[in-house]
Amino acid sequence: MASVAADYLPILLFLAVALGLSTAFVVLPMLVSRLTGANKPYPDKLTEYECGFPAFEDSRAQFDVRFYLVAILFIVFDLEAAFLFPWAVTVFDLGWTAWFAMMIFLAELVLGLVYAWKKGALEWE
């Protein structure tokens, strides 16, 4: 029984160190900001800093579906690039099967792009 507990001791030590460090990385910056006075809000600190002007409406307002369509299309073509680069590096080692597989993959993506184009998903009004 003692050998089983000894086998788990490194794992428990690792978890204790990880928990201690993660707590320190969260708590210590908050304590330092309280002690140094960085936590004193004033009107200039509370102004909008992301876009430079006050928000027009409620932050929970619904977005147009075109924002989501553009995001989905971006993810699709980003994944295409993520698959295309490693394939291009090793295509000569993998042979014709890999070449045909990638051509089928690219054909599917082109069909998806044509479909999105025909449906008007790429048009912004």
Q: Calculate mean pLDDT across residues 46-69.
A: 69
Q: Calculate mean pLDDT across residues 58-79.
A: 77
Residue pair 76/112 in contact by the 8 Å Cβ criterion: yes
pLDDT at 64 over 80: no
The phi, psi pair for 113, rounded to 5°, reads: -65, -45
Residue pair 72/78 in contact by the 8 Å Cβ criterion: no
Average pLDDT over the chain, rounded to an integer: 82
Assign 2 a pLDDT band (cuts: 50, 70, 90): low
Q: Which residues contact 108 (CB under 8 A, 6 or more apart)?
A: none
Q: Which residues contact 122 (CB under 8 A, 6 or more apart)?
A: 73, 116
Q: Which residues contact 69 (CB under 8 A, 6 or more apart)?
A: 116, 121
- The length of the chain in residues reads 125
In whole angstroms, how large is the CA radius of gyration of the chain?
26
Q: Where are the alpha helices (DSSP H) in the chain?
A: 2-36, 65-94, 96-119
Question: Residue 24: its pLDDT value, please?
Answer: 95
**Per-residue DSSP letter, 63:** P
pLDDT at 122 over 80: no
pLDDT at 92 over 80: yes
